[in-house]
Amino acid sequence: MDRFEYIEARLFEGENYLKREKGVKIYDGEDKTQYVDGEVILTTHRILWGKAGDIPKGLTCLSLPLYYVFCLEEENSGVFGLGGPKRILLHLGPALPGKRPGPAVVSPYHFIKFSFKDGVDPLFFKALNDAVNAKAWERTPQQQLTSSESVVNTSTKSPVTPVNSKIRSGIVGIERSIEEHHRATDESISVAFQDLRKLMEKAKEMVSISKTISTKIREKQGDISEDDTVRFKSYLMSLGIDDPVTRDAFRSDSDYYLGLAQQISDMMVSVLMDCGGIMSLADVWCRVNRARGLELISPEDLLNACKLLGTIDAPMSLRKFPSGACVLQLNSQSDEEVAKVTSQLLEENGSLTPVKLSQLANVSVLLARERLFTTERRGLACRDESIEGLAFYPNLFLTKAA
């Protein structure tokens, strides 16, 4: 809206009348304005809008120089687009400095819409399109030089020379090219999402566009969303599996579970290492399915596959706690390893309670006690049960007895 100027309705030298429409409303971007039910005059240089009857009388009206327009499209209204397009959408370049005052000083939008009460006349749209493409204003300066009235002419005409859109230089040129780039992207997105087949064809391009958008936004505001869950989701999905194992690809269930076990083990190794070597099966199920995308596996399938982890020499195994909770844990957490590490800690600290071990090893108290019991069972620790609680000491019989 900030591209409009107030001006008396008069044609300039070299400017020609093209077409006229009635019952026209202006939208500033998506917003309605007070300019309703007016009359529009299209010339070779401008679009004039005035209250009905104002323009023929030469009263003040709104004028939009056509050099602001770099693209236009018809917009269908209504759910089914019945009765043809009702609006024309004009994408505008940024307001040039030194323009005459207009109805708005700033506008958040880079496009305006003309809404036609009786629908868009295809002839009007065509004429507008032609006028924008003909760029009559680029020719006028030369004519003006030869014209004796050139001085008068420039004073009535908007005082800045319009930017030649072919030679892109200066800030305006940069802005325009950015603008155009955005438009091109917008367009390719809207084309690609018309139907599934088109999206498949353009999938590669869309993937890269989606990534650019999200990196740009991440740079600017930290992350694509403030929602913890959305962020986490996007993280989980980015660790995708290229070719998820499916039941159809295998002849028997046991083969399928073996394949699944292999894939789970490949995927979870690094995850488990990152989070302390142990994870509840529900978490594993969620992560595996997120990585698989649309090919979900059921909890039963996961459980069956995890039972087979031992048979394929995977670096992890399924474990069931006495409480009944199932977890997946790295083999470095196996009883032997645990006993070895815990007995070392016992030596270093002289004695350990479950509470102390839980703090040293950063595991839960329950798990810490479990570890101490394991160590005890292997004969590497001795129990001291008293009113102060449960404590364990190194087994001196192993070291001192001889």
Partner 1 sequence: MRRRAGVGAIQKQKLEQEKYKEKGSEIQENQFQQMCKQLEVFRENLEDFASKHKNEIKKNAQFRRQFQEMCAAIGVDPLASGKGFWSVLGIGDFYYELGVQIVEVCLATNYKNGGLITLDELRSKLIAARGKAKKHQDITNEDLLAAVKKLRIFGNGFTVIPIGKGKWLVQSVPGELNLDQTLVLQKASALGTAWVSASILTGDLRWNETRAQNALNHMVKEGLAWVDTQDTSETLYWFPSMFAECVSA
Binders in 240-299 for partner 1, by CB under 8 A: 240, 242-243, 278-283, 285-286, 289-290, 293-296, 298-299
Q: Is 198 in the site for partner 1 (CB under 8 A)?
A: no
Contacting residue, 200, 249, 273, 398, with partner 1 by CB under 8 A: 200
Helix%, strand%, coil% for the chain, nearest 5: 45, 20, 35
3-state secondary structure 183-233: HHHHHHHHHHCCCHHHHHHCHHHHHHHHHHHHHHHHHHHCCCCCCHHHHHH
Q: Which tokens sit at 148?
A: 């004796």
- Tracing tokens 């962020």 back to the chain, one arrives at 231
Binding part of the chain for partner 1, among 4-12, 30-38, 74-82, 217-225 by CB under 8 A, reads: 217-225
Q: Which of 76, 150, 156, 185 binds partner 1 (CB under 8 A)?
A: 185
CB neighbour list of residue 304: distance below 8 Å, 6 or more residues apart: 253, 257
Three-state secondary-structure class, residue 278: strand
Nearest distance from C-beta of residue 340 to partner 1, angstroms? 20
170 interacts with partner 1 by CB under 8 A: no
User: Is 217 near partner 1 (CB under 8 A)?
Assistant: yes
Site string for partner 1, 363-402 (x = CB under 8 A): xxxxx--x----------------xxx-------------
Residue type for position 192: A
- If the CB atoms of residues 29 and 141 are measured against partner 1, the closer one turns out to be 29
Minimum distance of partner 1 from residue 40's CB (angstroms): 28
Segment (H or E) for 171: helix 170-192
Would you say 164 or 210 has its CB closer to partner 1? 210
**46-75: which residues touch partner 1 (CB under 8 A)?**
none
Contact between 224 and partner 1 by CB under 8 A: the answer reads yes
- Can you say how many angstroms the Cα of residue 343 is from the centroid of all Cα atoms in its chain? 51
Question: How many Å apart are CA 279 and CA 317, to the nearest integer?
Answer: 11
Q: Does 182 bind partner 1 (CB under 8 A)?
A: yes
Q: Tokens at residue 23, please? A: 């019952």
Contacts of 147 (CB under 8 A, 6+ apart): 13, 14, 153
**Residue number, 123 or 213, with CB nearest to partner 1:** 213
Q: Point out which span in 27-35, 59-67, 85-93, 207-215 binds partner 1 (CB under 8 A).
A: 207-215
Q: Which is nearer to partner 1, 26 or 367 (CB)?
A: 367
Contacts of 121 (CB under 8 A, 6+ apart): 21
Residue 225 makes contact with partner 1 by CB under 8 A = yes
**Choice between 51 and 383, CB closer to partner 1:** 383
Question: What is the per-residue binding string for partner 1 in 313-342, x denoting contact by CB under 8 A?
Answer: -------xx-xxxxx---------------
How far apart are alpha carbons 371 and 8 in whole angstroms?
A: 90
Closest to partner 1 by CB, 77 or 298: 298
Contacting residue, 160, 184, 213, 312, with partner 1 by CB under 8 A? 213
Phi and psi torsions of 18, nearest 5°: -115, -55
Span between the terminal Cα atoms of the chain, in Å = 96
DSSP per-residue string spanning 46-72: EEEEEETTHHHHT-EEEEEEGGGEEEE
Footprint on residues 2-21 left by partner 1 (CB under 8 A)? none
Of the candidate spans 18-26, 128-136, 143-151, 168-176, the one that interacts with partner 1 by CB under 8 A turns out to be 168-176
CB nearer partner 1, residue 278 or residue 382: 278
Nearer to partner 1, 146 or 190 (CB): 190
